[in-house]
Chains A and B, each alone.
Chain A
Amino acid sequence: MRVGLLVTCLVDMMRPRIGFSALKLLESAGCEVVVPAAQTCCGQPGWNSGDRASARALAEKLIDEFEGCDFVVAPSGSCAGMVKTHYPDLFPGEGAWLERAERLAARTWELTDFLTNVVKLDSPPSRFTGTVTYHDSCSGLRELGVKQQPRRLLAKLPGVRLKEMNGCETCCGFGGTFSVKFGEVSAAMADAKCEHILATGADVVVLGDLGCMLNIEGRLRRRGDNTTRVLHIAEVLSYEK
C-alpha cells in the first residue's frame, strides 16, 4: 500500500517532528510511505482569501505530485479537508482536471481517520502517559467527520486519561488569515478556548491541526502559562520518551 505523506506547509516550517511522527505511525502500520520532495502547500490560504487562481495553481501541483499514490494522508484536518472537499470546486466543469481532482479527493485522508478506518492501527508505538484533553479542529470535525477517530486511538494508550473540555468542538479562533486580520477577536476566542482547556486540569491539550496548535499555544504562553503542553495527536501516538 503506497501512501503519500502530505506534510503540510505549517508542519514543514514550524513543527517537522509532527511530520516524522506521522511517518513513523504510517510505517508502523505497514505502509510504504512516499514523501514527494517538491510538495509545498495545498493552496488553502489562496482559496480562503478568494484568490482562486493561486489556489488552483497549487492544487494542480499537488494533484501531479501525488498521482501515483494509493492514498494521500495529512496530519491535518484542514489540509485534508481542502483536498477532499474543495479541490473539485476548483475545476468546475473541466473534464480531465475535475476527474483527477475527484480521484485524489477520494484517496485523501486525515491521519487519525486513516489510521482508524483504513489501516486499523491496533497498538500505536507510544509510551505516552498523562491526562489529556482533545480539541476538535473545525475542518476535521465538520468537513471530514473526524471526532471519534483520535479518541479511539488515544484510548489504546494505557497511560493516557482523556478528560473532555467544555466546548471541545468550538473554533479556537484561528481561521487562517482571520487570525491576523482580526487579531484581537481571534485572541479573545483563543482565550475562551484556553479557559476551557485549563478547567479540565489536563497536562496536555492534544489536537490535529497546526493552525489551532500555534493559536492555542501562542495564547497559553501569552497568558503566562508555560506548563500546559500542546501536542499534535501524531506526537502523542508515537511518543518515545
Chain B
Amino acid sequence: MHFKQRAGSALADAKLQSVMKRFGSGFVEKRTQARAAFGVDLFERLRDEGAKLRDRGLANLDVWLLRFEAEALRRGATVLWAGDTAEAREHVLRICREHGLKKAIKSKSMVSEEAGLNDALEAHGVQPVETDLGEYIIQLAKEPPSHIIAPAIHKDKEQVSDLFTEHHRKPRLTDIDELTREARVMLREHFLSADLGISGGNFLIAETGSVAIVTNEGNGRMTTTLPRVHIAITGIEKVIPTLEDLSLLNRLLPRSATGQAISNYVSVLTGPRGANDREGPEHMVFVLVDNGRTDFLGGEMQEMLRCIRCGACMNHCPVYQTVGGHAYGWVYPGPMGSVLTPMFNGLENALDLPQAATLCGACHVACPVKIPLPGLLRKLREKQVEQRLRPRTERAAIRLWAFAATRPWLYALGTKLAVRVLRMLSSSTGVIRRIPFDPGWTLGRDIPAPERKTFRQLYAEQRSERGNQGSPVTRIGKPSS
C-alpha cells in the first residue's frame, strides 16, 4: 500500500485525527520555549556547530569506527559488524544461543525496528519485552511505532486502558499515572528475570569506546546494567569522535526532541562489568549496522547521515501532523523517513514518499544538525524521474508544460484558452467545483475562477492604448506626476 492510501485511512480515522490535533502544537511549543530559554542566536550557532561536527565525523567515518572498535575492545566489549539487517539479526541470535539467553528486555532502538529484531527473537525462542512505555504499548498492540521518540503518540488514553486491561488481566484503569504505575509493576518482573538487555545507542564515542544513551524513563539504565549480557545495536553513522562532541550534541538533542534542557537520564556506558565493579553486564556487545548507510557516504545524500534521530522534523511537519506516522509505511516516519526509507529499502519500493511533502521547509529549520530535508526529497524526486519511476502521464505533463512555457506564443494561446474554459466551468459565485480529469484538487476544495483575461492580454491592451508597441521588452515610464 502507498502513502496516499494509508494517509486516506488516517484522515478517515476520527480517533487518530483528534489525537493528531492535540499532537500538533505540543512538541513544537516546547522546543520553541527551550530554544528561547537557551537564547535563539546561541541555539542557531549550536545548530551550525552540530552540523559541522557531524560532517567531520562522517568525513572520516572509517577512522572513527576503527578507533571506536579498538577502544571498545580494549575495555572488554565485543564489536560485531553487520552489513545488513539479516546479519544483525544473526549476530544477536548467535549471542543468545552461545549464552543460553531466553528473555530480552529492550530499551528504545530504531535500528532494532529497522532490523525487525523482535520477530526474529520470538521465532527463536527468546522473549523480547519492550520497556520504554510507548514501545511497550505498541508491542502489546502489535503495531509499529508512529514516531521515533514517541512511538505510541497515535494512541489515546482509552486505547491504552483497553490494551492494559486485556493484557494485564487487571481491573480497568483510566488515570494516566495509575496506568503508568501498572506498567512499571508489570515491567519490574521482566527487568529482574531477563538475561539479555538490548539497547540502541544515541551516540558511539570513538575516543572511549562507549555508547551514550539518552532516555527519560530510566528503563535504559536497567536494560543496560541488570541482565547478564548487554547488546547495543545501532547504525554505524552514530559514531562521534570525542566526549566533548557528546556534550555539544547533547545540548541539541533533548531541546530539539522534547524541549528539555536535558533528558532525565544520559548514560555513557563503557565496557562490561570490571573486576571491581558491583554491577553491570558480564558481556557487552556492540552490533553496528550498515544496511546501506555507506552507500551514501561521499554522495549527494550524505547529509542525511548526520541525523541524530530527534524527531523534530516530524514534530514540525504539517503533513505528519495531519496523517500521523503510520502513513509513511515503515519504521521511520515524517520527513526524515521519506528520505531514509527510499535510501534503505530502494527508491522503487517507496514510490510516493519523496512526493509526500509540500517542501515547506519547516523540517529544515527545526533540524538540530541542519539536514536540508526538502533539498534531499527533491533530489530523490529527480532520481525518480531519471529512473523513470514516476507515472508516464506525470512526466509528460511536466514536459508539455515546459514545451509550452519555452514558446511564448503557444503559452499565451494556451493560457488564454485555459482561462476561457475555467470561466465556462465556474459557478455564479466565482468558483469551480469540479473539473474533468482533476487528479485531486477538487476533492476538498473549489478552484477560484480566473479573471476574464490573462495579465499578458490586459497588459498588451493597456500598452496599445498608451500607443507604445513593438519591442519585446516593454517599458513604462516613471509616473508623470
Contact = CB atoms under 8 A, between A and B. Distances in A.
Contacts of B479: 27-28, 30
A196 B257 CA distance: 25
Contact of B8 (A34, A184, A222): A184
Contacts of A34: 473-476
B402 A57 contact: yes
A61 interface: yes
* A contact patch SS: helix
Contacts of A17: 451
B474 A37 contact: yes
Interface string B342-379: 00000000001001111111101100000000000010
Which of A12, A19, A213 is most buried by chain B, counting CB atoms within 10 A of its CB?
A12
A40 B361 contact: no
Interface of B: 3-4, 7-8, 11, 24-25, 318-319, 322-323, 352, 355-362, 364-365, 378, 380-386, 390, 394-395, 398-399, 401-402, 404-406, 408, 411, 415, 418-419, 429, 431, 433, 438-448, 450-451, 453-456, 458-460, 472-479
B440 A186 contact: yes
Interface stretch (A42-50, A127-135, A157-165): A42-50
A113 interface: no
Contact of A19 (B7, B404, B445, B459): B459
Contacts of A168: none
17 contacts: A9-B415, A12-B455, A38-B408, A40-B408, A48-B359, A50-B381, A51-B395, A167-B25, A169-B362, A170-B362, A180-B438, A181-B4, A181-B355, A182-B4, A187-B444, A188-B322, A218-B441
Contacts of A97: none
Given A53-B402, A58-B402, A178-B357, 16 more contacts: A12-B456, A13-B454, A15-B451, A16-B454, A34-B476, A37-B408, A43-B402, A45-B401, A51-B385, A138-B358, A142-B360, A179-B441, A181-B439, A182-B355, A184-B8, A189-B318
Interface string A174-202: 11111111111111111110000000000
A35 B408 contact: no
A11 interface: yes
B11 A188 contact: yes
B32 to A, nearest CB: 11
Nearest to B416: A13
A30 B17 CA distance: 51
Contacts of A50: 378, 380-386, 390
Give the bracket for the number of chain A residues in contact with chain B: 35 or more
Which of B11, B386, B415, B443 is most buried by chain A, counting CB atoms within 10 A of its CB?
B443
Interface in A135-169: 138-139, 141-143, 167, 169
Contacts of B415: 9, 12-13
Contacts of A219: 444-446
A188 B433 CA distance: 17
A200 B419 CA distance: 33
Contact of B365 (A9, A13, A142, A214): A142
A4 to B, nearest CB: 9
A32 interface: yes
A187 B476 contact: no
A182 B402 contact: no
Which of A14, A30, A45, A46 is most buried by chain B, counting CB atoms within 10 A of its CB?
A14
A13 B439 contact: no
A184 B11 contact: yes
Given A49-B381, A219-B445, A68 B473 contact: yes
Contacts of B405: 9, 40-41, 43, 58, 61
A63 B447 CA distance: 31
B205 to A, nearest CB: 34
A35 B477 CA distance: 12
B402 A54 contact: yes
Nearest to A8: B455
A3 B297 CA distance: 44
A222 B364 contact: no
B357 A46 contact: no
A213 B41 CA distance: 33
A20 B448 contact: no
Given A13-B418, A186-B440, A217 B402 contact: no
Contacts of B323: 185
A175 B446 contact: no
A138 B477 CA distance: 34
B473 to A, nearest CB: 5
A187 B472 contact: no
Interface string A201-235: 00000000000011101110110001000100000
Given A37-B460, A184-B440, A219-B445, A16 B7 contact: no
A217 B448 contact: yes
The 5 A-B pairs of least Cβ separation, nearest first, read A183-B440, A187-B444, A175-B358, A50-B381, A54-B402
Interface in A35-88: 35-41, 43, 45-55, 57-58, 61, 65, 68
A171 interface: yes
A169 B456 CA distance: 32
Nearest to B451: A16
A7 B443 contact: no
Which of B358, B365, B378, B460 is most buried by chain A, counting CB atoms within 10 A of its CB?
B358
A23 interface: yes
Contacts of A32: 475-478
A180 B478 CA distance: 42
Given A37-B460, A54-B399, A222 B444 contact: yes
A173 interface: yes
B439 A185 contact: no
A49 B322 contact: no
A196 B212 CA distance: 42
